[in-house]
Structure 1
Amino acid sequence: MAQPSRLLVGFAGVAVVANAMALVTPQESFAASKAADTGRMGAALSDAVSQRERDMAAQRSKLEMRERAVKASEARLAGQVDEARNSAPDVAAAGADEVKPDVPYDRLANIYQRMKPARAAPIFEKLDIEVQSQVARRMRDQVTAQIMSNMSPAAAVKLSMALAGRKVVDARPTELAAKSAGKSGGGARSGR
């Protein structure tokens, strides 16, 4: 049989001494030390519980404050809804003729934005000036500029005036005929 190691013998010796001390020590002092430990543990638990209660009370007050804010917001919204309902018949009666759905203009704007400007411009020119301006307002500025650069100058001017909120005045047919005759006549002379 092998001899036990020195480390094992050392631990056994320490265990014997500890057990001997436990037997010699009176039970009363052991109970007193245990009560002292329970007192410290009890105090720590008591502190932890009171801290937890304070935290819960703070959270409860925050929740109550949020609830009051939500109720105030609901009351404010209800007042705004009532006000809007009361004013809606007045607005509907006053602007019944002027109300136009925006959805077709939005869809047209998306369609023209997807087209190539050179192909969109001739079609866009033939639209009514009101439709042109409504659609152009809903398109991105860069796309509108590209389409306008491919439009005839007269159509681009009309659209620019409509977008600026100015009255669009059609040029008189006699002025247009004179201008076009001057352009074609001048071009033929310079070519000879």
Structure 2
Amino acid sequence: MNLRPSLLMLTAAAAGASVLANGVSAANPAPSAPETRLGASIKQDFAQRDQEAARRARALELREQAARAAEQRLQAGGGAPQRAAANSPPRDANEERFSELARIYQAMRPNRAAIVLEQLEMDVQVEVARRMRERSTGLILANMSPQRAAALTMAMARMPQPQAPFPSAGGQRAKP
């Protein structure tokens, strides 16, 4: 028997060893070159983008849960919110107007709101100021002239608190 390997056998053995070596090197990669600033910056940008996407996905998920819960409450209630609104007394149109004016004056800068508020009738000033947040009212009073601020404060102190029901359309409020 001839024990001399043929050239074909030697080539096949070399190819097999090469495949084995490539497989081992792919499984255990060699240490890579040090990371560059550009590479680190790109990785950081990707990480921030992924965190932002996760935050937005969580916010959307919470909104969807809230919408589903509200829908279930509406279906379970069978229109109860509509009935409750029908049973409540209608809001006075003046109260609605004064509340809207209060929101407008709160949104303005205090120095500008003070100039305009000083020009209004005292009853309107009082009703608007009563519906504003205390801080906004204080800032506006601080920007008013001392005489007008004192007059508004005195009028607010004399008039009944807003919890008292408004008089009927034809009635006048009694001043003490």
TM over 0.5: no
TM-score, normalised by the number of residues in structure 1? 0.41
Which structure has greater helix proportion?
1
Larger RCO of the pair (alpha carbons < 8 Å, separation 6+):
2
Structure whose CA Rg is larger = 1
